[in-house]
């Protein structure tokens, strides 16, 4: 990567991604709706799931790592992006094996590896050369400190990362995963992107308006909080000032 930017997402760039990949996104939404209606438990809300899909389409990663899949809702959004890109592999880490059961076999195909266990114990199976890191696992400060120390330093500068469940309110609770990650980012001068209603109401509204203009009107999943943050790893050593 020759040019490293802290922000790959802004409202304008997000809307451009919706416009660029609209037909594919509409197909994926229909596929995900079928899974949802079939009873798959879903944690990601629609905008954050769609931004994950669109960002994967745009960044075309070869190697994606997901920590925290539960029944595979985020997993299936990610796998559909890799399928639509025509290449790329996903390695998923979770204590529970629900995703292994519920992710459709034709979607998993030969692009998916599932590693069951506490990721802190199975970290040896994390592939080298991660191009996209997705985290939605334990929401404790301790777990955040673990992956900031153990996973983030493995990433090349400028690697896209997303972390779920940060902005359920305007500020995360002290001593939570979100508080630790936001401090780590602030120490490195990074202001992550979010479409969380509670923390970035204007961004949420602007993206909602654009989606409606483009014909995305029916929810796939009813949640509207979208508490995920999106950022890129910093140019400086991400482990250097860990606190």
CA distance 35 to 135: 22
137 vs 234, beta carbon nearer ligand SAM:
137
Of 25, 28, 35, 42, the one binding ligand SAM (CB under 6 A) is: 42
What is the per-residue binding string for ligand SAM in 143-182, x denoting contact by CB under 6 A?
A: ----------------------------------------
Residue 74 within binding range of ligand SAM, rule CB under 6 A: yes
Please count the residues of this chain forming the interface with ligand SAM, following the rule CB under 6 A: 19
7 vs 41, beta carbon nearer ligand SAM:
41
The string over 23-48, giving b where at least 16 C-beta atoms fall within 10 Å of a residue's C-beta and e elsewhere, is: ebbeebbebbeebbeeebebbbbbbb
Q: Choose the stretch contacting ligand SAM; rule: CB under 6 A; options: 27-35, 38-46, 152-160, 233-241.
A: 38-46
64 vs 119, beta carbon nearer ligand SAM:
119
Of 45, 46, 58, 94, the one binding ligand SAM (CB under 6 A) is: 94
Residue 119 within binding range of ligand SAM, rule CB under 6 A: yes
Q: What spatial distance separates the first Cα and last Cα of the chain, rounded to whole Å?
A: 28
**What single string gives the DSSP state of each residue in 90-124?**
EEEEESS-HHHHHS-HHHHTTTEEEEES-HHHHGG
Residue 68 within binding range of ligand SAM, rule CB under 6 A: yes
Residue 138 within binding range of ligand SAM, rule CB under 6 A: yes
57 vs 139, beta carbon nearer ligand SAM:
139
DSSP H helical ranges for the chain: 11-20, 22-37, 46-59, 73-85, 98-102, 105-108, 119-122, 141-150, 177-187, 201-213
- Stated as kind and residue range, the H or E segment containing 65 is strand 63-67
């Amino acid at each position: 990567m020759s040019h490293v930017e802290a922000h790959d997402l802004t409202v304008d760039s997000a809307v451009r991604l919706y416009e660029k990949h609209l037909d594919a996104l509409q197909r994926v939404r229909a596929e995900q709706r079928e899974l949802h209606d079939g009873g798959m438990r879903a944690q990601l809300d629609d905008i954050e799931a769609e931004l994950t899909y669109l960002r994967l389409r745009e960044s075309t990663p070869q190697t994606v790592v997901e920590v925290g899949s539960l029944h595979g809702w985020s997993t299936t959004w990610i796998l559909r992006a890799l399928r639509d890109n025509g290449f790329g592999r996903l390695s998923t880490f979770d204590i529970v094996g629900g995703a292994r059961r519920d992710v459709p076999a034709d979607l998993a195909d030969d692009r998916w590896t599932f590693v069951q266990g506490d990721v802190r114990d199975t970290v040896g199976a994390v592939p080298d050369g991660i191009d996209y890191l997705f985290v939605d696992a334990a929401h404790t400060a301790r777990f955040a400190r673990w992956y900031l120390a153990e996973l983030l330093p493995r990433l090349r500068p400028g690697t896209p990362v997303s972390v779920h469940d940060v902005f359920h309110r305007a500020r995360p609770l002290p001593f939570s995963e979100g508080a630790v990650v936001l401090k780590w980012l602030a120490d490195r001068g990074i202001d992550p992107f979010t479409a969380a209603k509670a923390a970035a109401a204007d961004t949420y509204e602007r993206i909602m308006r654009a989606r409606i203009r483009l014909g995305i009107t029916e929810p796939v999943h009813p949640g509207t909080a979208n508490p995920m943050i999106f950022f890129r790893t910093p140019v400086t050593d991400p482990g250097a000032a860990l606190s």
